[in-house]
Amino acid sequence: VSDWSSDVCSSDLYDTHSDDANFPILEDWAPGFSAGDWSIYYEDGVQGSNTYIGVTERRATNASDVIGDLMVEYFSNDPTVQTEPQSTYYGEENTWEYVIFHIQDETGTAYTGGIYVTLNNGNAHVIWFQAPDSAISQLVNAFFVTIDGCTIE
C-alpha cells in the first residue's frame, strides 16, 4: 500500500471521524456520508448503495467484544447471517481482529462483509465493509486501502 499515488488516494480523502485516526478512502468512494456514529463511503460516491466502507470509533478495550456487540446490534434479527471464525489480520500499520460475514437481502442478493477492529488508548477503531458476492473479489483492494492505510497517532 506504500505505493499510493494521487490518482488512487489523495491526502484530503481521509476520514476525520476521529482526532487520532486517519482512514484513507479511494477517490471514487468519496465523499463520505454521516450515519449516526459512522462515516460511510459508497462505491462511486453514490449514497444508499449496499456496497460500502464504514468507519467509526468506540470506547473499548477488547476488540472481540466490539465485534460481538456490532454483530448483535446489526444482525440479531437477520436469520440469513453466517459468520466465519474470528481471526487476526496483521496490517501494515495495525493489528486487527476481524470477522467475515455473509448475508442476504430481501431480494435474495448475497453479500459478504467484514468488521475489522483495532485498539489504541482505550478506543476501538472499526472498519466495516460490505459488497455483493458478485463484486467482492473486484473490491477487496478498495477495502484494504482503508484497512492497511489506517494510521493512529
Q: What contacts 24+ positions apart, CB below 8 Å, involve 75-81?
A: 75/101, 75/103, 78/103, 80/104
Pairing label, strands 32-35, 38-42: antiparallel
Give per-residue pLDDT as tens, 52-88: 999 899 999 999 999 999 999 999 999 999 999 999 9
Cell of 17: 471521524
Residue 76 DSSP SS3:
coil
Quote the CA–CA distance of 70 and 27 in Å, as a whole number.
27
Question: What pLDDT score does 150 carry?
Answer: 83
Task: Tell me: pLDDT of 11 over 90.
Answer: no
pLDDT score at 10: 39
Tell me how far apart the alpha carbons of residues 116 and 150 are, in angstroms, rounded to a whole number.
11
57 class by beta-carbon count within 10 Å (0-12 exposed, 13-18 middle, 19+ buried)? buried
Q: What pLDDT is recorded for position 107? A: 93
Residues 71, 22: Cα–Cα separation, whole Å: 24
Per-residue pLDDT at 99:
97
Q: Average pLDDT, whole number, for the chain?
A: 84
Residue with the bigger pLDDT between 125 and 15: it is 125
